[in-house]
Amino acid sequence: MFPPIEHLAGHNLWNSIRHAANNWMARSGGLWLAILSLIMLITTPWWVEKAITNAMQSKTHQSALQYAQQLSARLDAAQTHYDRAVSATDSPRDDFEPIARQWLKNSSHVLRVQLLDANGHVLKSFTRQEGDAHDPTTFKPLNRISLAHALELQTPTYSALYKQHDQQVVDLFIPHDGPSPVAYVLTLDTQPWTQVTGENKETLLTVEVVPYQTQNFLDVSRYILNFPEWEGLWSLQFQSADPMLGILSALRPAFFVVTLMVIVLFFLHWRDFQLRQKTEAQLQKQSRLLDQQSRLSMLGEMSASLAHEINQPLTSIANYAVAGQLQLQRHDAQSPVLPLLQKIQEQSQRAAQVLVAVRGMTQPGPMDVAEVNLQALFFRMEPHLLWLCSQHQVALHIQCDAQWRTLLNPILFEQVILNLVKNSIQALDSITHSSKRIRIQVTGDQEMLHIQVADNGPGIQPENVPRIFDSFFTTKAQGLGIGLKLCRSVIERLNGRLTLKNNSPRGVGFMISLPLLSDTTQQAQPT
């Protein structure tokens, strides 16, 4: 059975998306966009958590401020009530007990009432628990600074928060100005202050009276609030009981785990992508090499076939030239045609030798070589090279001032020199100045012989330098891209090296290095 069309369409669409994604990530822009997407994916949960937390903190702060204002109003009202009661009496000592009983009866947060003189001595004391009335150790000593402040300014004054019987309490000093200044002291329990009611209760807000502090907690669910009236005495600590804050706190490790997993998955995907790209590049390179080898093999077979086919006409031309010379020598030995027939015979024999040498390159095994005097070799080549250069108004200079000798195949070596010179001529055709020149210089040391072919042309583009010796690479419109590759192959078969010596906008130089015959180093003296 064939798969449904919808399945095939979905499969093709997925392959297209995957191919497009790979191509996109292969580019540098794709990499940066992928990294940006990863950063967005990682940071989005933190941004969402921060936004939710900020909103909840803002709500908590507003509710806390509203509650603090309500508490401040209640405390001010109670303080005004106590102050009026004390101010209304003419005899605070005699009226102390009924006033204290009324306060303890009507106010659940009043734990004790005391009467103090200006020196801080307790004149009378009354507590909610009668058993503590005459026990001076039950409560901590009063704050004399708050007492002095209240008597001096004649205004109600609070003390700092302190702990008494596991209760957080404060003292309220209410002065009475008379012949002998005294002060009523109310010890107030702060626990009733923390009862959240009304709209604040709906916000799931809890409050606690704590000793004065200015630094807030790092916990986002907690908030410290200080009113000017309580500055330095106590602080209100608010805490939101909203379950969303707990959920966000619990999810924070999950965010970290998800982030770590995303990073690991991205790294694994990117590494897989890089390995796949590397493998594909290697496969493409191997494919190109196989293609080049196939083309070179086909070229070698064609060269061998052509050499075999052309060799017969060349032999016939040489035979006709010899026959023509014999006929002229019998009838006219001084005929000017005889030298021409001689040259035809020599050139046909030379062409046949070139074909034989080319066929020999396609065969395995060592190349046929002979000991050659380079000075004599260049002397024979010079007329032909000069004729080639003169056709393009190029000056040729050959410098070989010693009897350098080496082992090489002279026919193939001549073809290497001809190829390098022709390449230089073609490069010089692209410039307009008249001082175009090619220089061939032969030097040597104790082990190697160096032949440099240099010109003053425009040079090779830097991006093309690594590929100039590759098969089928060419910058010429009609080029095949096998000239320099064959030249290097010939020189390497002769145990030598062909390299690019220098390259600049002022010219190019190729260097041929060949082993120098040891028994000729002594003969290699300048002539």
Q: Quote the tokens at residue 73.
A: 């109003």
pLDDT at 51 over 50: yes
Q: Quote the tokens at residue 30.
A: 């794709």
pTM for this predicted structure: 0.43
Our count of domains for the chain comes to: 1
Whether residue 376 lies inside any domain: the answer is yes
C-alpha closest to that of 221 among 204, 201, 197: 204
Whether residue 119 lies inside any domain: the answer is no
- Comparing 368 with 495, the larger pLDDT belongs to 495
Query: Poorest-confidence range of 31-40, 126-135, 285-294?
Result: 126-135
**Nearest-10 crossing angle of helices 243-331, 337-361:** 150
**pLDDT digit string, tens, across residues 351-396:** 766 666 665 555 555 667 888 888 888 888 888 888 888 888 888 9
| pLDDT range class, residue 218, cuts 50, 70, 90 | low
Return the CATH number at 393: 3.30.565.10
Q: Does residue 241 come out as left (phi exceeding 0), alpha (psi in the -120 to 50 range) or beta?
A: alpha
Distance between CA atoms of residues 173 and 189, nearest Å = 14
Domain that holds residue 437: 366-520
Q: Quote the tokens at residue 387.
A: 């004729």
Strand arrangement of the beta sheet that strand 205-211 belongs to: 205-211, 234-240, 222-225
Whether residue 501 lies inside any domain: the answer is yes
Task: Please answer whether residues 404 and 445 qualify as being in contact, where contact means their C-beta atoms are separated by less than 8 angstroms.
Answer: no
**pLDDT digit string, tens, across residues 101-125:** 899 888 888 989 999 988 888 888 8
Average pLDDT over residues 225-229: 83
Whether residue 137 lies inside any domain: the answer is no
Distances (CA, A) of 244 to 61, 65, 280, 313: 16, 21, 51, 99
